[in-house]
């Protein structure tokens, strides 16, 4: 009998006892496959749109189909790992991901591309949770900070390298190469895992089809609403209204059904009785809102308002990535065994919030480094949050429930990312409308500020040219105010997450939920 909340925190190494470098390389490669694909495809979207003659609304389905499929099946990681075995599941996931990557590369229409992306998402969903749990089990407790640092490096470096690699492949060869590049990495990961990860015995467990259906409906419709809300104008769209209602009702029935089923439910909801796991899930969901919300807006800000080139907008993320990698290595190798993980995570939230607040203080004259340095400060925070938070989340989760807990933890991360991107987009649109209206209230042909702005340009506020120039400047100022307000809000959100850390116990402590039999 094993327990989902295991005070000892002991877990057998993935390799059957002892750490092996090949396992680390294999699982980090598997995680990079999924993360790299999410950013490398974004660069190729305009080329895919031109190739298939798709509209702006239609081309978004290339991204949405993958994300919705991924987030729906990700919570099933633990169930399928027990049902067919962890080794067989990750080998199947890598193989399926590679096959559908190849099919995406040879797709002949938008419909075929969307279908193949759906398959890619179904298999890719398991790569990060399984990689994380295998890596976690491969290290003894005092080395788990290093495990999470290695894992974090992979999923931080990949998004930074993705746009640059995607641009090079697309411009040098074809957009189809952004999918073919997955194949050699997948092959190497398959060879390493096949040789190093020992087989495990599948369990004969009943499939809770009702719970499965309710969970898929709740998460899938929520993710659809988040992805398509901006395109369909949110609650003014009947489709979005229906999706949110279906998601809420399905989630309610899923919770009721899950409490009745107990551990027989498709997802073991009792995992959330562990205090550290629940608090860490809440913090990571909020943290990625602040992180991905800012990352999504920054390229638009520097290109549309500051006039930076596409390449400069991409280069601006390099200091953030380097800072994040540095903090992950230092946190995992040096700090994780010497400093309370809650204090490290708190320092990371403070740094992330500070970096976002620094972005909120910029103006239209900001230089490259004035924008890049706040990103580097936030990047330092990323490593300090990610490593200890992941370690604390699984501190009391037994080896038997690692895959299931990792799936749930990562689906909260994915949903937090989607909420963050959708929320900042909606807030920015609303802020631009409000700020434009407020600034326009004070604009008259006789206002001193209007005269002092137009006179040096040789323009008159009563001429068509003068009105056009004035309107353009009002729009720029309204947009600047809006970006600054949203950046500032994401900064304060990072600080607002700090009290949740007080709910957690220190690594090695014995607080939290009671052990649960399995």
For 16, which DSSP code?
A: S
Kind plus residue range of the DSSP H or E element containing 310:
helix 310-315
Residues 6+ apart with CB under 8 A from 401: 2, 4, 78, 268, 271, 518
User: b/e for 286-309, b at 16 or more Cβ within 10 A?
Assistant: bbbbbbbbbbbbbbebbeebbebe
Mean pLDDT of each 10-residue bin along the chain, 518 residues long: 43 46 84 82 83 83 84 91 92 96 95 94 93 84 76 73 76 90 94 87 86 92 86 88 96 92 82 94 93 83 84 80 87 86 96 96 93 94 90 87 90 86 84 90 73 72 76 89 95 97 78 40
On whether the CB atoms of residues 77 and 403 are closer than 8 A, the answer is yes
Please tell me the predicted confidence (pLDDT) of residue 440: 85
| Alpha-carbon gap, residue 413 to 425, rounded angstroms | 18
| Alpha-carbon gap, residue 175 to 177, rounded angstroms | 5
| Alpha-carbon gap, residue 303 to 508, rounded angstroms | 47
On whether the CB atoms of residues 399 and 11 are closer than 8 A, the answer is yes
Residue 397 DSSP SS3: strand
On whether the CB atoms of residues 223 and 67 are closer than 8 A, the answer is yes
| Alpha-carbon gap, residue 280 to 272, rounded angstroms | 10
Residues 6+ apart with CB under 8 A from 172: none
Kind plus residue range of the DSSP H or E element containing 79:
helix 77-84
Please tell me the predicted confidence (pLDDT) of residue 14: 42
Residue 336 DSSP SS3: coil
User: b/e for 365-401, b at 16 or more Cβ within 10 A?
Assistant: ebeeeebbbbbbbbbbbbbbbbbbbbbbbbbbbbbbb
Q: Give the CA distances from residue 90 to residues 78, 104, 133, 199, in Å, rounded to whole numbers and listed in that order.
A: 12, 21, 11, 11
Residues 6+ apart with CB under 8 A from 38: 66, 159, 162
Q: Which DSSP string corresponds to 252-295?
A: HHHHHHHHHHGGGSSS-GGGGGSHHHHHHHHHHHHHHHHHHHHH
Token pair 């990060």 in the structure block, residue: 128
Which tokens sit at 146?
């290093």
Which tokens sit at 307?
């006039």
Please tell me the predicted confidence (pLDDT) of residue 5: 47
Pick the closest to residue 487 from 380, 389, 369, 363 (CA basis).
Answer: 363
Token pair 């105010």 in the structure block, residue: 481
Task: Give me the long-range contacts of 200-209 (CB less than 8 A, separation at least 24).
Answer: 200/85, 200/86, 200/87, 201/85, 202/82, 202/83, 202/84, 202/85, 202/88, 203/82, 203/83, 205/79, 205/82, 205/83, 206/264, 207/79, 207/83, 207/266, 208/261, 208/264, 208/265, 208/266
What angle (nearest 5°) sits at the alpha carbon of residue 302, between those of residues 299 and 305? 125
pLDDT tens column, 61-115: 888 788 888 888 999 999 999 999 999 999 999 999 999 999 999 999 999 999 9
Which tokens sit at 97?
């991901």
User: b/e for 493-511, b at 16 or more Cβ within 10 A?
Assistant: bbbebeebbebbbebeeee
What CATH code is assigned to 275-518?
1.20.1250.20
Class of CATH domain 8-207: mainly alpha
pLDDT tens column, 347-383: 999 999 999 999 999 999 999 999 999 999 999 998 8
On whether the CB atoms of residues 80 and 203 are closer than 8 A, the answer is no
User: How many other C-beta atoms can be found within 10 angstroms of the C-beta atom of residue 253?
Assistant: 17
Indicate the pTM of the whole model.
Answer: 0.82
């Amino acid at each position: 009998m094993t327990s989902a909340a295991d005070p000892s925190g002991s877990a057998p190494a993935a390799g059957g006892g002892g750490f092996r470098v090949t396992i680390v390389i294999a699982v980090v490669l598997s995680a990079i496959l999924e993360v790299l694909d999410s950013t490398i495809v974004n660069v190729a979207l305009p080329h895919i749109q031109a190739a298939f003659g798709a509209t702006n609304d239609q081309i978004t389905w290339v991204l949405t189909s993958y994300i919705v499929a991924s987030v729906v099946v990700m919570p099933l990681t633990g169930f399928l790992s027990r049902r067919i075995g962890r080794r067989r599941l990750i080998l199947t996931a890598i193989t399926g991901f590679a096959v559908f990557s190849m099919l995406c590369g040879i797709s002949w229409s938008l419909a075929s591309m969307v279908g193949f992306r759906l398959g890619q998402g179904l298999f890719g969903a398991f790569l990060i949770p399984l990689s994380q749990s295998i890596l976690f089990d491969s290290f003894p407790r005092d080395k788990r900070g290093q495990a999470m640092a290695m894992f974090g490096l992979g999923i931080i470096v990949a998004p930074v390298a993705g746009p640059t690699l995607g641009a090079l492949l697309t411009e040098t060869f074809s957009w189809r190469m952004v999918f073919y590049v997955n194949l050699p990495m997948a092959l190497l990961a398959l060879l390493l895992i096949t040789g190093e990860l020992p087989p495990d015995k599948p369990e004969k467990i009943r499939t809770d089809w009702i719970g499965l259906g309710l969970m898929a409906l709740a998460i899938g419709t929520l993710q659809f609403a988040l992805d398509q809300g901006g395109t369909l104008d949110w609650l003014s769209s009947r489709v979005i209204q229906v999706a949110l209602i279906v998601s809420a009702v399905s989630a309610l029935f899923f919770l009721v059904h899950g409490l009745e089923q107990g551990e027989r439910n498709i997802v073991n909801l009792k995992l959330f009785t562990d205090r550290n796991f629940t608090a860490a899930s809440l913090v990571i969901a909020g943290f990625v809102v602040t992180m991905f919300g800012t990352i999504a807006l920054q390229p638009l800000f520097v290109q549309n308002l500051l006039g930076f080139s596409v390449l400069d907008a991409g280069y601006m993320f390099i200091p953030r990535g380097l800072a994040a990698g540095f903090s992950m290595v230092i946190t995992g190798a040096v700090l994780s065994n010497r400093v309370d993980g809650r204090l490290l995570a708190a320092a990371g939230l403070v740094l992330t919030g500070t970096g976002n607040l620094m972005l909120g203080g910029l103006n239209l004259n900001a230089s490259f480094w004035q924008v890049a340095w706040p990103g580097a400060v936030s990047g330092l925070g990323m490593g300090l949050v990610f490593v200890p938070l992941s370690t604390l989340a699984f501190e009391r989760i037994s080896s038997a429930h690692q895959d299931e807990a990792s799936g749930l933890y990562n689906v909260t991360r994915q949903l937090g990312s989607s909420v963050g991107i959708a929320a900042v987009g909606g807030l920015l649109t609303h802020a631009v409308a409000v700020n434009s209206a407020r600034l326009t209230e004070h604009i008259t042909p006789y206002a001193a500020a209007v005269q002092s702005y137009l006179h040096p340009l040789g323009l008159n506020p009563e001429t068509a040219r003068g009105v056009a120039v004035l309107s353009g400047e009002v729009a720029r100022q309204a947009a600047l105010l809006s970006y600054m307000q949203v950046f500032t809000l994401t900064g304060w959100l990072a600080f607002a997450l700090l009290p949740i850390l007080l709910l957690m116990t220190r690594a090695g402590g014995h607080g939290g939920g009671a052990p649960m039999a399995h």
